[in-house]
Amino acid sequence: MENVSLESRLDDAKFRRRLYIGLNIASLFGFAGLMAVAAFYDLQISQAIGDMNNLFGTFFEVVGEAPSYLVLPFCAPIFFYNAKNFSDKRFRIFMRVFGLVLSWLGYFMWIYAGTKPGRIDVVYGIPGLTMFAVFGGFVGGALGLWVGSLIKPQVMERLLKFAVFSLVFMVAALLVMQGLKMLWGRMRFRDMLAAGSYEGFTPWYVVNVGGTEETFKSFPSGHTSSAANIFILAAACDVFPKLRSFKARAIINSFCAVFVMVVAVSRIVNCAHFLSDVLVGGYGTYLIFVLVRYLFFGKGKYEYDLSRFKQGSEAKPRAAEEAQAGAGDAERENAPAGTVDAGEGVNAAAQEQATEIEPEEKAAAQTESDE
């Protein structure tokens, strides 16, 4: 029996798939165990490590949501520059406008969320901070589209399906998490501190059916969910052949997992969430990622076939071939019957001769290869 090295096994697709499934099952058990701990010690953990003035918590309050906001400006140039691959004029216009909107919206939301101007403007009456976010959206969007123009068209085509996957995953995770927030209606730890009482605390398994007030949006953690959007980088390993090695996958997946865990801890330190909040926000979003990833790439197709939608140089050869075929049919219809029969007879004879010669050529080729 041959000895197979660990490195060769790790580069085997089937072995990696089994390892991937095994790790996901193990992570599911780990998640269940931590949720059991949170059922008894959620409040005590927040009381022990919560500190609203902690720099670590404040820093990741700003940075933690970046992966979800950066999805939009990342996808923007991909949609914008792939518009030329579609022959339908209205769809090309839609792709261009959609790309422009995403390019502005992504940077605007990132700047707006990072500087918290919505809160600052109300307190200090400085609407200029909001205007800065609007202006920054235009500048960042224009810069992103310029960078996109430097990327090869072939790469842009390959990234189109990946961009659609990224948007679907982000929107699906956002809808699920925001829906759970409104359903659970769990009070935040920092609002308990402000009230000077823990009477509003409820364990994670109690559904309160809350409203739209920010005070009662503790479960699950939106920041941790947004941070888990970084797993989109793990899906890039499917799209780009150079990233499909086990080493590349391990590095990227480990980086994504560590980032999500750091943001999760920072949300507890920042007194914004309990342990169970960040567990469901992070791991729940990861499960959505696994599902959407399977729906898009489960069959091994990592890019769209745009050939049937393309226009211009690629559409002309097909039209020429169809015209040539039509002209040939017309010639045969207009030609005398004897001429057509003779032509068909010559073609048939040529095909028979080729059929007879082909086995001889194969035999000769086989003899050469044996020698």
Can you give the pLDDT at residue 4? 58
Termini Cα distance of the chain: 32
Mean pLDDT (whole number) for 358-365: 44
Enter the tokens of residue 3: 């000895």
Distinct helix (H) and strand (E) counts, the chain: 15, 0
pLDDT beyond 90 at 263: yes
The values of phi and psi at residue 54, to 5°, are -70, 130
Convert the pLDDT of each residue in 133-143 to its tens digit. 777 778 888 88
286: CB partners within 8 A, 6+ apart: 228, 231, 260
Interatomic CA distance for residues 267 and 275, integer angstroms:
9
Contact between residue 250 and residue 23 where contact means Cβ atoms under 8 Å apart? no
Distances (CA, A) of 330 to 163, 324, 340, 348, 350: 47, 10, 12, 21, 23
pTM over 0.95: no
Which residue shows structure tokens 């095994």? Answer: 22
pLDDT tier for residue 239 given thresholds of 50, 70 and 90:
confident
According to the model, what pLDDT value does residue 149 have?
A: 84
Q: What is the pLDDT of residue 127?
A: 55
Q: What is the pLDDT of residues 1-10, one digit of tens each?
A: 445 566 666 6
Q: Indicate the burial class of 16 (C-beta count within 10 angstroms; 0-12, 13-18, 19 or more).
A: middle
Residue-level pLDDT at 7: 62
Provide mean pLDDT across the span 98-119. Answer: 74
pLDDT of residue 141: 81
**The pLDDT value given to residue 155:** 85
Choice between 51 and 127, residue whose per-residue pLDDT is larger: 51
Is residue 229 within 8 Å of 71, Cβ to Cβ? yes
Amino acid symbol at 293 = R
Kindly state the tokens that stand for 247: 């080493």
Average pLDDT, the chain: 79
pLDDT in tens, 281-312: 999 999 999 999 999 988 878 888 777 666 55
Do 268 and 220 touch, CB atoms closer than 8 A? no
Please give the backbone phi and psi of residue 308, each rounded to the nearest 5 degrees, phi first.
Answer: -80, -15
Main-chain phi, psi angles of 162, to 5 degrees = -65, -40
Read off the tokens for 240. 């780009």
How far apart are the C-alpha atoms of 128 and 50, rounded to whole Å? 33
Q: What is the pLDDT of residue 114?
A: 61
The whole-number pLDDT of residue 129 equals: 65
Amino acid of residue 104: W
* pLDDT over 70 at 203, yes or no: yes
Give the lowest-confidence range in 1-10, 101-110, 236-245, 275-284.
1-10
Q: Residue 366 — very low, low, confident or very high, per pLDDT cuts 50/70/90?
A: very low
Residue 311 confidence (pLDDT): 56
Q: What is the pLDDT of residue 86?
A: 85
pLDDT tens string 11-66: 677 887 888 899 999 999 999 999 999 999 999 999 999 998 888 988 888 888 88
| Selected residue with higher pLDDT from 268 and 129 | 268
Radius of gyration of the chain (CA): 30
Cβ proximity of 140 and 107 under 8 Å: yes
- Comparing 30 with 150, the larger pLDDT belongs to 30
Interatomic CA distance for residues 274 and 45, integer angstroms: 8
Mean pLDDT value of segment 265-292: 95
